[in-house]
Amino acid sequence: MSRQRFLFIGGMLVAALLIMLQVVFIVREGDAVVVTTFGRPVRDLAEPGLYGRWPWPIQRVYRFDRRVQSFEGPLEQVLTNDGKNLLLSLFAGWRILEPIPFLERVGTQEQAERNLEGLLRNYTSATLGRYHFSHLVNVNPDAIRFDAIESEILDALQAEARDRYGIEVTFLGIRRLGLPEAITERVFDRMRAERSELAERYRSEGESEALRIRAEADSEREQLLARAAAEAKRIRAEGEAEAAVSYSVFAENAELAIFLRKLDALEQIMTNQTTVVLSSDAEPFDLLKGPGAIGNDPDESEQ
């Protein structure tokens, strides 16, 4: 009997729990809840707590995440005011601001991101159409207008997303910027042409500088050779003048000239302890025989 009572009590508790789950629900922190009666939204709840409802099919509860969701748009091709094509990708953060309009007009978070993608594409094209290519790509940081572009797109997107879908867009930014393949190829071709032109200019300047240096070197070489030739002529002339004086002295005294030439020859032969075996009658060794060996013999001179 006690077992049957235990099973009965347990069954009653389970039934009570199931009934309670049909009439009571919990709103968690960060959730937005919409309660519908026969499919028509009647109230939305955002404060955490325990709430009651009529059981299904009279009332139904829809839950949504009210926290900020991140969203990244695809890489889209846009046209600038000066007719340049760009590839642009944006990111954004959004959250559910009005749960009932969101349920009626969107329904799910996936559909919300698809709707935002369409709005983002339209406002990005419209905004970029008012700016030049140089406002996005420029070597001068002061010419870049990223902040102004992002602010304009965000302002336009916020108003329509709130009015149409009950969504609040909290932030937006440019994530990626690129060029179409055809434009990229043209840019690379232009860069290669510019680099080739620059290399050719440097090569031409180098050749001109080389010619100038060679011309200066040739001119300096000619000047040095001319000065050296003039100096050689001067030295040769001085030597010939001194030689002429010596020749005049030797012409007056031929024996003295012969004697000096023999001394020079003997000095060159007898250097470095040279040993020479020759007849004393051979010149210039005849000088070693004594003073009588110079010129004629003493007997001949007395005659």
| pLDDT tens digit sequence for 124-155 | 999 999 999 889 888 888 999 999 999 999 99
83-131 pLDDT tens trace: 888 889 999 999 999 999 999 999 898 999 999 999 999 999 999 999 9
The region, left, alpha or beta by phi > 0 then psi within -120 to 50, assigned to residue 290 is left
> Coil, helix or strand for 251?
helix
All domains in the chain, ordered by first residue = 2-65 (no CATH), 69-179 (3.30.479.30), 260-294 (no CATH)
Helices 181-252 and 254-269: crossing angle in degrees, nearest 10, is 130
Q: What would the DSSP string read from start to end of 179-244?
A: --HHHHHHHHHHHHHHHHHHHHHHHHHHHHHHHHHHHHHHHHHHHHHHHHHHHHHHHHHHHHHHHH
Q: Count Cβ atoms within 10 A of the Cβ of residue 83 and give its class: 0-12 exposed, 13-18 middle, 19 or more buried.
A: exposed
On whether the CB atoms of residues 121 and 100 are closer than 8 A, the answer is: no
Angle at 59 between CA 53 and CA 61, to 5 degrees: 80
Tell whether the model's pLDDT for residue 301 goes beyond 50. no
> What pLDDT is recorded for position 271?
65
On whether the CB atoms of residues 151 and 204 are closer than 8 A, the answer is: no
> What pLDDT is recorded for position 25?
85
> Coil, helix or strand for 50?
strand
Q: Is the pTM higher than 0.85?
A: no
Tell whether the model's pLDDT for residue 163 goes beyond 60. yes
